[in-house]
Amino acid sequence: MIEITQEFTFDAAHRLDAGAPENRRIHGHSFYAEVTLRGGADAETGMLLEFGAIKEALGEIAGELDHRLLNDISDLGPPTLENITRWIFRKARTRFPEVVRVRVRRPSYGESCCYEE
């Protein structure tokens, strides 16, 4: 079994209706998402999948998030780190059934969330 990970970044704004008062104001973050795929290597190439194809698909996902107000993304739900992570997982899994884990980090806050199946 082989496991590979591709990372992408995006900057986005959101507001949360729960939690600390400062979270209720629109504010932004830089996010770092890691998408991990697992499976058997191709006998001929030795690769699970070609990184260029993965990077292209994840670039499309990043484009849906980058420089957006996350509250406006209808199928995201409240734009918590947990919901963002699950949303990316669902989107990536539709492109690559080999996706097993997504981790989203906000390093400036020392926070991350991981979702896996």
Q: What is the pLDDT, as a whole number, of residue 21?
A: 65
Q: What is the pLDDT, as a whole number, of residue 79?
A: 96
Mean pLDDT by 10 residues, the chain (117 residues): 97 86 81 98 94 97 98 95 98 98 95 96
Between strands 2-14 and 99-106, the pairing is unpaired
Residues 105/108/109/113 CA torsion (nearest 10 deg)? 0
SS3 79: coil
- Domains, the chain, in order of start with CATH, read 2-116 (3.30.479.10)
Distance CA 99, CA 116 (A): 9
Q: What is the pLDDT, as a whole number, of residue 27?
A: 87
